[in-house]
C-alpha cells in the first residue's frame, strides 16, 4: 500500500493531499449525517466554498 502512495506522490505531488482531504470530508459526512454544508464546514474548519467544490467533484464522479 505504501508503494502505491509513493508512486502517486512521485507522479502528482499534490494529488495525495487532495485525496486525503476528500476522504476526510466523506468521513465527516458519515460521522455527522445528516449534516448541512454550513455545519460540516464549521466542524472541519474549512470554508463553505472549499467544501462545496470538493463535494461537487465527488458528486459528479459517483
Q: Taken in order 50, 52, 53, 57, is the CA torsion positive or negative?
A: positive
Nearest to 54 by CA among 28, 33, 12, 32: 28
Nearest to 54 by CA among 27, 18, 28: 18
- Split at pLDDT 50, 70, 90, the class of 8 is confident
- 57: cell is 467533484
**Over the stretch 16-50, which tens digit does the pLDDT of each residue have?**
888 889 999 999 999 999 999 999 999 999 999 99
Residue 47 is classified by DSSP as -
Q: What distance in Å separates the CA atoms of residue 40 and residue 33, rounded to the nearest whole number? A: 10
- Split at pLDDT 50, 70, 90, the class of 5 is confident
Amino acid at each position: 500500500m505504501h508503494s502505491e502512495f509513493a508512486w502517486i506522490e512521485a507522479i502528482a505531488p499534490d494529488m495525495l493531499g487532495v485525496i486525503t482531504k476528500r476522504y476526510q470530508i466523506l468521513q465527516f459526512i458519515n460521522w455527522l449525517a445528516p449534516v448541512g454544508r454550513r455545519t460540516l464546514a464549521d466542524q472541519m474548519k474549512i470554508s463553505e466554498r472549499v467544501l462545496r467544490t470538493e463535494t461537487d467533484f465527488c458528486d459528479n464522479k459517483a
